[in-house]
Structure 1
C-alpha cells in the first residue's frame, strides 16, 4: 500500500484528502523476479529469456498486470542452458536434459548428478573425436606431402566423393568416438 499525492510537500503517508488517493498494490513476493532482473542476473538478453520460455525450457507466472514473473530457481535452469550451449549442444538436447530436472524448484544434488552424467559422457565422446581429428591432422602435416598416394589431404579426381557427403575427417572422428578408442 502506498499513498499517492498530487502535492510535492512530503513523501510520508498522510491522511486522505481530496487530492490524495490510496493505491493498493499487491506486494511482489521476494522469490519472483521480473524478466529484466532475470536477464540481467543470467547475463542474457530479455528476448532470449522470452525465447527460452516459448521453447518450454523455463516457466513464468503472470502478475495481475500480466507481467512475467519468474521464480528464482529459473536462474539455475538458465545456467544449465548456458552451459549446454557452451558445450555445443542444441536447445533440443538441452531441453531433453532439463526434462529430467524438476521444473518447479531447484534440482537436488542427486538430480543434478544424474543429468550431468549424460553430459559428461557426451563431452568425453567429443573429446575422443577431437583427439582422433588431431591425430589425423598431425599425420597429414607430418607427412610433408612427399607422397601424394599417402597424403590424407590430397584428393585427386575427387575420390573422396565415393565416401559420401560431408567431411571425411569429421565422419572418421565420429566413428572413432562412437567406438570409444582413440588412435595413438
Structure 2
C-alpha cells in the first residue's frame, strides 16, 4: 500500500464560495440545490460547509437538464436513482439524456403546434373571430372548461412550463 501525499495546492474539499465560483452559480443556488436534494455537502469541525469536488459535475448536469426544461423533480429522481448517490459518469449521463430525449421531442412537437396555431387561434380562450366559430360554435368548449382548452390538456402544459 502506497502513501499518497496530497499536494498543498490541491484541496480535497471545496468551500461554498469555491464551488459557486467554479460552477458559475450563486451561493444561494447551491443552498437551493442542497435543500432540493440535488447535491450534498458536509460540515467541518469548525461548522464550515464543504463539498467534494465531484459536486461540480452534479451541478453541471443539473444546469444542463434545467436549460433543457427538465423539471427539478425529474432531475432529482434521476440522480437519486444512481447507486450510492454517486456522481454520474459518462455512461450514466448517456442513460439520463436518452431518457429525457423523448420528453424533449414531445415538448418540441407541442411548441411547434402552438407556434403554428398562435396567429389564427389561441386554442379557444377565445379571442379569435375567424377560427373559433368554426372550431367552437356557440362556445361549446366554454361549457367544458375555461382557458385555452384545444392546445393542451389540463395539467400537461402547466407541468412543462415549470
Shift of 1:136: 2.2
The question of whether the paired residues in 2 share the 8 Å contact of 1:42 and 1:78 is answered with yes
Q: Does 1:52 align with 2:26?
A: no
Which residue pairs with 2:16 in the alignment? Answer: 35
**Could you list the per-position Cα deviations for residues 36-63 of structure 1 after superposition, in whole angstroms to 9, with x for gaps in the alignment?**
1111111211122112112211011221
The question of whether the paired residues in 2 share the 8 Å contact of 1:101 and 1:115 is answered with no
Which residue pairs with 1:116 in the alignment? Answer: 97
Where 1:126 maps in the other structure, the secondary structure is: helix
The question of whether the paired residues in 1 share the 8 Å contact of 2:58 and 2:88 is answered with no
Separation in 2, partners of 1:167, 1:113: 36
Unmatched 5+ residue regions in structure 1? 1-26, 142-146, 176-184
Q: 1:83 aligns with which of 45, 53, 64?
A: 64
Separation in 1, partners of 2:136, 2:67: 34
Question: Alpha carbon RMSD of aligned pairs, Å?
Answer: 3.3
Separation in 1, partners of 2:53, 2:134: 52
Which residue pairs with 2:49 in the alignment? Answer: 68
Where 2:82 maps in the other structure, the secondary structure is: coil
Q: 2:80 aligns with which of 99, 106, 113?
A: 99
The question of whether the paired residues in 2 share the 8 Å contact of 1:35 and 1:46 is answered with yes
**Could you list the per-position Cα deviations for residues 46-93 of structure 1 after superposition, in whole angstroms to 9, with x for gaps in the alignment?**
122112112211011221211111111111111122122222232212
**Could you list the per-position Cα deviations for residues 127-153 of structure 1 after superposition, in whole angstroms to 9, with x for gaps in the alignment?**
111122223235549xxxxx9464479
Query: Structure 1 residues 114, 37: closer, same or farther in 2, change over 3 A?
Result: same
Separation in 1, partners of 2:135, 2:144: 14
Separation in 1, partners of 2:59, 2:134: 42
Could you say which structure has the larger radius of gyration? 1
Where 1:168 maps in the other structure, the secondary structure is: coil
Query: Structure 1 residues 159, 29: closer, same or farther in 2, change over 3 A?
Result: same
Alignment TM-score, normalising by the size of structure 2: 0.70
